[in-house]
A and B are shown apart, each in its own frame.
Chain A
Amino acid sequence: MTLLPAQPTPKKLGLVIDLDVCVGCHACVVSCKEWNTGGYGSALSDQDPYGADVSGAWLNRVHTFEVIPEGGEIVGEAGEARIVHFPKSCLHCEDAPCVTVCPTGASYKRAEDGIVLVDENMCIGCGLCAWACPYGAREMDLAAGVMKKCTLCIDRIYNETIEEVDRVPSCVRTCPANARHYGDLADPTSAVSILVAERGGMDLMPEQGTLPVNKYLPPRPRKPLADSAHSLPLAENTDGAKGFFGWLDGVLERI
């Protein structure tokens, strides 16, 4: 059924991604592929996997952007431009255009927790949902001929056969920088909602009217490197050395 459930859903399960913390290591990308190729639905195929022209279906990808402030320069670390690593996966939108365009009912949004899924036994692989998604969150599996997307690791988060600490999406569990957070964004007291409130979590492409559930935390303001220069300990300066180091400084000075 491709009509959207009543809004808002009682739970809005989703991710909060911290652009200030992400180091762009792509660990989430790989762990997502690894988990989802053996989990929900058909395997995530690759085409020409060991050849020069390898490609495949991925549910999570990390882009890297350069942001240049007004009047800023592009001179690497010395300039004002900064690099922001940007992981992107399905945002499990409240008003998901990918769901309503589906002609077969394969694409649906769960009424209980708002997760957007594809029933691969119903999908005809027409690709219209991928066209409708402004974010490019859906990718066709060219081997199975069905549409693939982030399931929020539905086979982990409700899985009582694995340890409780593992009942989060694979990307969240694996992130070495703790840049990814999972929780219920409908609950204002949840850790993710508090993070969003404190750090000014934002929507991607709000103008598309999709009401994404996933939020992104903007990078914290950065001081220009030059501003920090005076506080750097200078190797030449021994002013204020006390105790043993004061004595040693004096002895070495006299030699």
Chain B
Amino acid sequence: MHPAFSIVIFTTLSGLGYGLAAVLGLGLLDPAATATKIAHLLALALIATGLLSSTLHLGNPQRAWRALSQWRSSWLSREGVMALITFVPLAWSAWASLFDGRYLALPGLVGTLLCAVTVYCTAMIYASLRSVQAWHTPLTPLCYLMFSAAGGLVLASFFGFAGAGSTVLAPALAATFTAAAWIAKLFWRHRMRTLRPISTPETATGLGRIGRVRLFERPHINENYLTSEMGFKIARKHAAKLSAIAFLLGGAVPVLLLLVLPLAGVGAGPSASLIALLAACCHAAGVLMERWLFFAEARHSVTNYYGG
């Protein structure tokens, strides 16, 4: 599948934003601290940027509001509806922290729950497509949720070291969730690499009863919408390397950094904040690469008509 820049950015940023908002909703950070206030604003900004980015690939973005209407059948529509609803408790929580320095449990916990539901809807847009077998598994929403939670906790750790408290629990949880997210991803990737395609050129043409089917001539010489959108190919050796880099950058490095800080007994302070910020940046870069590969490596069943 073509890894459209706007979609890769959207799922990465909104995932991080919802993760951070969900952690804030649990009340782990000191609501009166300046760092927590900035965290609230950052979460909202990440979510909003992600959602705006997702409209960039639309052919007619001026009609995007229509996408809120088909929540009964469409995961994309559900995602849009949930994203809007989730803004209410998140904005409420942010308001309470920014102007009153208070943590409110009701909007906080409701916000956390809705963040999870929204990220789940985003993942289900892809997981519900049977035509892309690599995505069509419950492991897809699991990975999205885990990466979102991990990203939120890594960011929360940074804000914790920057003065919002929780310099032990947040980094410990961040390291745990980051490790768990990458373990889920390894399972996802192993499944993708080893699955037997349910659709083949034989089933796609119905000619399997006669024999083995091979494309002889394409319908047109040039690329078309289908081959550029669904027939994206990435060299296997590069995919393996990128995947390893993503794992190291997004998984190993932040886990190591975030474990070292509390274990070394480092409390809040500029140096700890910088290290936590480095962990957060590495995590985001790793997840961005993971998301790019999520699209680039997935194979659509239409490629059976175009010689694989």
Contact = CB atoms under 8 A, between A and B. Distances in A.
B203 to A, nearest CB: 5
Given A67-B211, A207-B198, A2 B70 contact: yes
A219 interface: yes
A225 to B, nearest CB: 16
Interface string A189-228: 0000000000000111111110000001011000000000
Contacts of B58: 124-126, 145
Contact of A131 (B63, B132, B198, B205): B132
B18 interface: no
B186 interface: no
B206 A216 contact: yes
A142 B57 CA distance: 11
A231 to B, nearest CB: 24
Interface residues on B, range: 35 or more
A82 B210 contact: yes
A55 B216 contact: no
Interface in B197-234: 198-199, 201, 203-207, 209-220, 222-226, 229-230
Contact of A136 (B212, B218, B302): B302
Nearest to A206: B203
B130 interface: yes
A77 B118 CA distance: 58
A58 B229 CA distance: 15
Interface string A119-156: 00011111110111111100111101111000000000
B69 interface: yes
A63 interface: yes
A11 interface: no
A146 B60 contact: yes
B70 A134 contact: no
A134 B75 CA distance: 18
B206 to A, nearest CB: 4
Q: Which of B57, B212, B225 has the most CB of A within 10 A?
A: B225
Contacts of A55: 220, 222-225
B113 interface: no
B70 A104 contact: yes
A62 B131 contact: no
A135 B302 contact: yes
Given A67-B214, A140-B225, A208-B199, 10 more contacts: A2-B74, A55-B225, A61-B219, A69-B210, A84-B205, A97-B129, A103-B74, A125-B60, A127-B59, A128-B76
Interface of A: 1-4, 19, 26, 29, 53-58, 61-70, 72, 81-84, 86, 88, 97, 99-106, 122-128, 130-136, 139-142, 144-147, 202-209, 216, 218-219
- In the A-B complex, list the 7 residue pairs whose CB atoms are closest, starting with the nearest: A125-B59, A145-B59, A136-B302, A61-B219, A103-B77, A69-B211, A103-B67
30 contacts: A1-B70, A26-B219, A55-B224, A55-B225, A58-B219, A61-B219, A65-B213, A65-B214, A67-B210, A67-B214, A97-B131, A100-B74, A101-B125, A103-B66, A104-B66, A104-B69, A105-B66, A122-B66, A126-B57, A126-B59, A127-B229, A130-B230, A135-B301, A140-B59, A142-B59, A203-B206, A207-B198, A208-B130, A218-B210, A219-B210
